A and B are shown apart, each in its own frame.
Chain A
């Protein structure tokens, strides 16, 4: 973990702790992966002393995606129709993951 100033931030970095606004609202939660747009927002507020854990891979792994999906449905998985919706969402997530991999490998071979 390291502490950085807002001008040292790069997309893909992960926050080690939440960034809070003056009123106590969480602006970005712990574990948020920074994007260009988020960094711009942080810079516009000139925050310093931001703790970063590590850089994230460009895409989340299939396992991570499915694990998160599992967590999102856990309390409601047994409700009517939710199993079916979860299955369809899972299919969609896997399909997107396949597509991204294909595009990645195409990009590399070129």
Chain B
């Protein structure tokens, strides 16, 4: 066994805890219930369906989400079985994590949930423009892309506050301050969790590389989509992701997407629509 270092803020400890998952005290309570279902790639459609249906609060959260602008089936999905048929097993598996994490988000950073929902809507809008078939995949990735921040905030609240203050003082991105303090970013922490929970490879790519879309191997286009969605949501000032300013877009990703100005206008409008409706944010 590899010796585990004592310094609690050491990133190796966090990685070890994520990989054990039971050692993440706050997240584990939530995830423990889910792990059995979503952490097992062999779970059947029927098992997932009865798992969700056995919990009324979870059922209502899932149905509200799939009927919201994030998934674009306004009011058309009335049962969990129907949602599973339309969205597919993989999407619902990660969506279970999505709705649960969204709830945690607002307790750790005000605005992170709005940021994530905005990003999901924007990503979906871009994917639609690009003619992608599986829109649910990028929607879920939008919801979950900052899951690493939730882990950092829950595990190292004091250190993360220092990270945020440092970022503000030095006028650098929180991500860069994370790297300086923890030697890894929230994107890496998100990747470990995604791998631990056997998320689909494409989703893991989108979470792991949303700040460095050039490194995505199994989903370069989808990762570029989430990368740009993240930036557009921040550009509009919708929600809060911890930064005072917008990160620069990766030119390679931007060129890969090859969007016209009118496309970008459309995406911005889709984000504004969520802001205007407000209903999807506080359920």
Residues of A that sit less than 8 Å from B by CB: 23-29, 32, 37-38, 41, 65, 68-69, 71-76, 79-82, 84-86, 88-89, 91-93, 96
Contact = CB atoms under 8 A, between A and B. Distances in A.
A53 to B, nearest CB: 18
B232 A85 contact: yes
B168 to A, nearest CB: 11
B282 A23 contact: no
A75 B243 CA distance: 12
B265 interface: yes
Given A27-B110, A85-B235, A76 B264 contact: no
Contacts of A79: 248-249
Interface residues of B, number: 32
Given A37-B282, A85-B235, A92 B265 contact: yes
B246 A73 contact: yes
B74 interface: no
Contacts of A73: 235, 245-246
Interface of B: 106, 108-110, 153, 157-158, 160-161, 171, 231-232, 234-237, 244-249, 251, 254, 261, 264-265, 268-269, 272, 281-282
Given A24-B157, A28-B110, A75 B268 contact: no
B109 A25 contact: yes
A72 B236 CA distance: 9
14 contacts: A23-B157, A23-B158, A25-B108, A65-B237, A69-B237, A72-B234, A72-B235, A72-B245, A72-B246, A73-B235, A73-B245, A81-B249, A81-B251, A85-B235
A84 B160 CA distance: 33
Given A71-B244, A72-B234, A88 B261 contact: yes
A74 B245 CA distance: 8
A94 B237 CA distance: 14
B269 A25 contact: no
A25 to B, nearest CB: 5
A36 B149 CA distance: 26
B66 to A, nearest CB: 22
B101 to A, nearest CB: 17
Contact of B245 (A28, A76, A88): A76
Contact of A86 (B109, B235, B251): B235
B161 A88 contact: no
Given A76-B248, A89-B232, A92-B265, 8 more contacts: A29-B110, A65-B237, A73-B246, A76-B245, A81-B251, A81-B254, A85-B231, A92-B236
Nearest to A68: B237
A37 B282 CA distance: 7
Contact of B264 (A24, A38, A65, A88): A88
B120 to A, nearest CB: 19
A23 B159 CA distance: 11
A99 to B, nearest CB: 9
Most buried by B among A28, A41, A79, A81: A81
A84 B161 contact: no
